[in-house]
Amino acid sequence: MNPPGLKVDTADGTLTLLGDWTQSGLSAADARFRERLEQAAAQAAGWNLDAIGHLDSCGAALLWQVWGQRWPQAVTAAEPLRVLLARLAALPPLPAPPGGQASGWRILPVFVGDVMLTLCRQLRDVTMLFGQLLIASGWILRYPVDMPWRGLSANLFRVGVKALGITALVGFLIGIVLSYLSAQQLARYGANILVVDLLGVGILRELGPMLAAILVAGRSGSAITAELGVMKIRQELDAMLAMGLSPNLSLVWPRVVALIIAMPLVALWTDVMALIGGALAAWVSLDLPLAVFIDRFPTAVAVKHLYLGLGKSLVFGALIGLVACRNGLSVAPNSESLGAATTRAVVVSITLVILADAVFAILFSPFQVQ
């Protein structure tokens, strides 16, 4: 096999093709061969194909593309080569690839449609995984000895205890920000004491559970997806199935249950730190003593808001765990898919958490704020 080559006749500018223009020959050519061919073709006055050893469909297709899908003015070639090139020229042009990028006013509908389709597919897969976990829970209730205690306790430590630092910091800062912003408005009307009502209801019912869920989704959800994805890439899940072990029972169930248990506790911790930050900011900006803040809080904020926030946290934890595990189990055996699945898990988890919070706001509207 002779690799393809080029020879330019300086006398008349004819470009002579040498060697074997076949799939194997073109594969053996250097990476810049096509670039040199296109540069020579732009200056060629004619083409001489008589020195070609072998020509197959790959070589003919390359020549036809370089020629701009039309015959050049001067071509010298044997009859078999002309027949092959003529057959290629008789083929209809390839259609444009579908799914081109939308332009103009179509960009927004296409984007919204893609997002909605992604969410619907995620909800479908999450629902299927939830059903499988219910079956696994029934098995554990029937055979408690099979409960993965070690995996459950380890995941409780990872998603709960290790998340206390970042949630405390963010909750404390959010409490300060909310207190300072509300103080500027309340001070105009002499209603400084109402900052307790605002912070209590806003943090216990909405901000605390939401902040905790977003932080856990970005921290623990991405870690769960990456962990399960790496296990799938390394074929550890296939090895578990070969040994008769259920990945849903051994890997998915303890992670989802750990998030369901830990989320209300993390949300409560975030509530406490946010209220501490808000109380300190109210003390500084509104000159509201801490004793007054603590004394008014139980009478201004009903305990139902705490229960609503903790109840929502249970659902948020289940959504984060299910989405993270589902994306981890769907990773393809390559690093690009792992990165995409991790990003998708975080984005979808946060989106579903916000969507669920909006649904809860509508369902719990009969529970008045006061």
- pLDDT attached to residue 194: 86
Please answer whether residues 330 and 341 qualify as being in contact, where contact means their C-beta atoms are separated by less than 8 angstroms. yes
Are residues 271 and 138 part of one domain?
A: yes
Co-location of 129 and 68 in the same domain: no
DSSP letters for 135-165: HHHHHHHH-GGG--HHHHHHHHHHHTGGGHH
Tell me how far apart the alpha carbons of residues 30 and 9 are, in angstroms, rounded to a whole number. Answer: 22
**Which tokens go with 61?**
């297709």
pLDDT at residue 279 in the model: 93
What is the tally of structural domains in the chain?
2
Give me the pLDDT at residue 4, please: 81
> In angstroms, rounded to a whole number, what is the distance separating the alpha carbons of residues 74 and 40?
15
95 found inside a domain: no
The rounded distance, in Å, linking the Cα atoms of 345 and 334 is 17
Structural domain contains residue 368? no
- Determine, yes or no, domain membership for 350: yes
Last residue of a domain, one of 40, 56, 90: 90
Same domain? For 154 and 294 the reply is yes
Please report which residue ranges of the chain form alpha helices under DSSP H: 23-28, 33-43, 57-66, 79-90, 107-142, 149-159, 164-186, 195-202, 208-216, 222-233, 236-242, 247, 253-285, 290-300, 303-329, 335-363
Check whether residue 85 and residue 122 sit in a common domain: no
Backbone conformation region of residue 254, classed left if phi is above 0, alpha if psi is from -120 to 50, else beta: alpha
Of the candidates 353, 131, 360, 359, which has an alpha carbon nearest to the alpha carbon of residue 220? Answer: 353
Which of 29, 60, 90 lies at the terminal end of a domain, its last residue? 90
Token pair 């194909």 is found at 49
Task: Examine residue 184 and state whether it is found in any structural domain, yes or no.
Answer: yes
With respect to residue 160, please indicate whether it lies within any of the assigned structural domains: yes
Residue 368 is predicted with a pLDDT of: 60
pLDDT at 107: 77
Same domain assignment for residues 262 and 233? yes
Q: Are 84 and 140 found together in one domain? A: no
Q: What pLDDT is recorded for position 367?
A: 63
Q: 57 with 182, same domain?
A: no
- State whether 265 and 305 are in the same domain: yes
Query: Do residues 39 and 187 share a domain?
Result: no
Domain region containing 280: 108-363
Query: Is there a domain that residue 96 lies in?
Result: no
Residues 11, 153 share a domain = no
3-state secondary structure of 198: helix
Most distant CA pair in the chain: distance in Å?
A: 102
- 323 inside domain: yes
Q: Do 275 and 311 fall into the same domain?
A: yes
pLDDT digits (tens, 9 = 90+) for 195-251: 898 899 999 999 999 999 999 999 999 999 999 999 999 989 889 888 888 888 889
Q: 191 and 63, same structural domain? A: no
Segments of the chain scoring below 50 in pLDDT:
none
Cβ atoms of residues 217 and 350 within 8 Å: yes
Q: Is residue 100 part of a domain?
A: no
Q: Which of 32, 56, 90 is the last residue of a domain?
A: 90
